[in-house]
Amino acid sequence: MNYLGIEKTKTDKTVKELNQLLACHHVYYQNLRNFHWNVQGENFFALHAQFEALYQDARTQIDAIAERILTLRHRPMSNMSDYLDASMVDEAGNVKDDRKMVSITLDNHKRIIECMRNVLDAAENAGDEGTNDLISGFLGDIEKKSWMLDAWLSHHREPVAA
């Protein structure tokens, strides 16, 4: 049954982009968990809470993206190895500096925003307003969070030696 009124073949490109976004979100989520667990220093309380809020939001988006892929009658990626291969977001590794953690998070956001825009382009070409609605909301949210993190980072940059 075609309950969406969109031919499944028209959504192939959208699903490909959604799966890449799903992969990016999974690696981003784990980076945030890493930072949440390992942040130290004078900014601990603020950043520990912020990283937790960000990974909780990412977890919600991961589920929504996977369910949208299923709604489009496709199968979402579900293996970590596939996520690592497909993601535009890199694993952060062992980071100790809190400013570097925020900088990496902003870079992750930049890559996720690029993925989201790719999804929006593909969904628009397929006439898939449901995907556009879902991802547009996510896009506005991550752009706002990026602005806030950038504002924090600009206040906490290392002083430049004279």
For residues 79 and 13, what is the distance between their CA atoms, to the nearest angstrom?
20
Residues contacting residue 99 through CB under 8 Å, at least 6 positions apart: 153, 156, 157, 158
Question: 77 by DSSP, 3-state: which?
Answer: coil
**What are the C-alpha distances in Å from 90 to residues 55, 132, 149?**
16, 26, 19
CATH architecture classification, 8-155: Up-down Bundle (1.20)
For the stretch 10-62, pLDDT in tens is: 899 999 999 999 999 999 999 999 999 999 999 999 999 999 999 999 999 99
Structure tokens given for 101: 């953690």
Model confidence at 158, pLDDT cuts 50, 70, 90, reads low
Indicate the domain borders of the chain: 8-155
Average model confidence (pLDDT) across the chain? 94
Q: Tens digits of per-residue pLDDT, 83-104? A: 999 999 999 999 999 999 999 9
Q: How far apart are CA 137 and CA 145, in angstroms?
A: 13
pLDDT digit string, tens, across residues 68-80 = 999 999 999 999 9
